[in-house]
Chain A
Amino acid sequence: MPDAIVEVSHLTKRFGDFTAVNDVSFSVARGQIFAFLGPNGAGKSTTIKILTTLLNPTAGEITLNGFDALHDKDNARKSFGIVFQDQSLDDELTAYENMEFHAVLYGINTEVRKKNIHELLVLVELWDRKDSLVKTFSGGMKRRLEIARGLLHHPKIFFLDEPTQGLDPQTRNHIWHYVKNLSEEKGVTIFFTTHYLEEAQEYAQRIAIMDHGNIITEGTLEDILKKTGEKTLEAAFLKLTGSDIREESASSLEAMRRHRQMRGH
């Protein structure tokens, strides 16, 4: 792809003799909203961890915003923001302090810091709660704060790992509203995962579906619907990943994961 901001080639990750990600290659165009879908245990989270420098791959190459994510980590890290699947705020700090902490780690100078924090906290409607400890926040407020924090250093790529999981429809709506604006007004590339397939159907400009460590389909919504002959993404998804087989492999995968945790990997 000529203007790819995320380029992944021949990415493989093995845990012992289990292959979580199997020779995966794909790219995301600059400014695109890209949905990365798949059932639990498909290898999505592992892939995102590798893309965001949290985990080293067994093999393969990754370029983020032109930087080698495996060897030029700091430049790659400056290029993206992320909202993790699990909450990653410090509960004992205030909203403002969480933002400040992030700004200092990303080397944003004091003046820009104040301006950006103000702007973003206003955007996610948390400015009036800036001095409250995060532990007093609801799930939706925490999520909004994480979005504001992830954008503080003006990333070119924004990773959102199940950003709307467990949130009510109002909050989900709000979050998609910010994200869409971000893409349209600032040209930020959005890379997200979700189990709510209607979100991918509505917002994604390109969709990849992963299963058993492989990308099994990639294309626009129309491509995928045409290929499967289905009317909705959900139906196409189920057709591609199968509903029966899932349960079996999910449970064996769960067992494998528990085993891994016990061994401390």
Chain B
Amino acid sequence: MNAIYILWLRELKRYSRSRSRMIGSLGQPILFLFALGFGLGPVFQRAGQGNYFQFLGPGVIAMSILFTAIFGGIQVIWDKQFGFLKETLVAPVPRWQIMLGKTFGGATIAVLQGVVVLILATIFGFRPELGLLVLALTFMLLIALFFTGLGISIASVLADINGFQIIMNFLVQPVFFLSGALFPLNNLPKVISNITAVDPLTYGVDGIRGTLTGASHFGLAIDITVLLILVMIILTIGATLFSRIEA
């Protein structure tokens, strides 16, 4: 268990020392809040959907967690390329513990990032209800765990960073745009509606939105159940793939 802790600690130390990573990762959420919030807000209002910031806030929080978590997981490729991974691979520690430590570290950072974006969103006019804050943080943690685990799983099978762009364009971006982070899930065309239903992030966005604004599409019980199951599955897959890495 000490191995899990030291790997978690390593991720946090690295993160806290990387100012540019911290600040850089806030650029995208601010842009989305600013451009979409002010740009689409009036249309959203006229369509009778209320204040768009209230809707968009949870979506942008989920977005920042998604990107931070995937990046955190994918870092395993950098560890592979810069050699540090070997140090952990020859250690007398079960590989699944190393994988879990990295996942918890990456997920913790992603949640912290989500909290910072939550605070930022209030500056733009997002007004969360804080009664279910703990539950909201739980949802944030679940999507953070899922996507860090996914990042590590992908990194375990990729040989180098060349595949990274493909992952970003064909996996991460679609997962974000089709999650209901930016638009309501009611009255969607059937195709889009089906896609959003199989997008893991949808349940995270819905859960965060439900706990912070009271407006949930699926209901919090379904959201949390789906996410819990997905997290278990991805951690199992990730631990298996990570254990198979050969240097």
**With A55-B246, A104-B6 in contact, is A84–B86 under 8 Å at CB?**
yes
Segment at the A interface, from B103-111, B157-165, B205-213: B157-165
Judged by a CB distance under 8 angstroms, whether A261 is at the interface is yes
**With A92-B13, A92-B18, A261-B159 in contact, is A105–B82 under 8 Å at CB?**
no
Q: Which of B83, B158, B160, B246 contacts A84 (CB 8 A)?
A: B83
Complex contact B92–A75 (CB within 8 A): yes
Complex contact A93–B83 (CB within 8 A): no
* Cβ contacts under 8 Å, A104 to chain B: 2-3, 5-6
How many positions in chain B have a CB within 8 Å of any CB in the partner chain? 28
* Cβ contacts under 8 Å, A92 to chain B: 13-14, 17-18
Segment at the B interface, from A36-44, A46-54, A188-196, A232-240: A46-54
Q: Which of A54, A56, A75, A97 contacts B90 (CB 8 A)?
A: A54
Complex contact B246–A89 (CB within 8 A): no
Q: Which of A56, A102, A261 contacts B87 (CB 8 A)?
A: A102
Q: Which of B6, B92, B159 contacts A101 (CB 8 A)?
A: B6
Complex contact A105–B247 (CB within 8 A): no
Q: Which of A55, A87, A89, A100 contacts B247 (CB 8 A)?
A: A55
A260 to chain B, nearest CB (A): 9
B1 to chain A, nearest CB (A): 10
Complex contact B92–A77 (CB within 8 A): yes
Residue in chain A with minimal CB distance to B79: A90
The B-contacting residues of A in range 108-155, CB under 8 angstroms, are 133, 149
Complex contact A107–B2 (CB within 8 A): yes
Q: Please measure, in the bound complex, the distance between the C-alpha atom of A52 and the C-alpha atom of B87, giving whole angstroms.
A: 11
**With A55-B246, A75-B92 in contact, is A261–B160 under 8 Å at CB?**
yes
Q: Please measure, in the bound complex, the distance between the C-alpha atom of A101 and the C-alpha atom of B11, giving whole angstroms.
A: 12
B11 to chain A, nearest CB (A): 10
Complex contact B246–A88 (CB within 8 A): no
**With A92-B17, A101-B10, A264-B157 in contact, is A54–B91 under 8 Å at CB?**
no
Flag B67-105 by CB within 8 Å of A: 1 or 0 each.
000000000000000111111111111100000000000
Give B residues with C-beta under 8 Å from A. Answer: 2-3, 5-6, 10, 13-14, 17-18, 82-94, 157-160, 246-247
Q: What 9 new A-B contacts, CB under 8 Å, besides A261-B160, A264-B158?
A: A54-B247, A55-B247, A56-B246, A73-B92, A84-B87, A89-B83, A89-B84, A101-B87, A106-B92
Give A residues with C-beta under 8 Å from B. Answer: 49, 52-56, 73-75, 77-78, 80, 82, 84, 86-93, 97, 100-102, 104-107, 133, 149, 261, 264-265
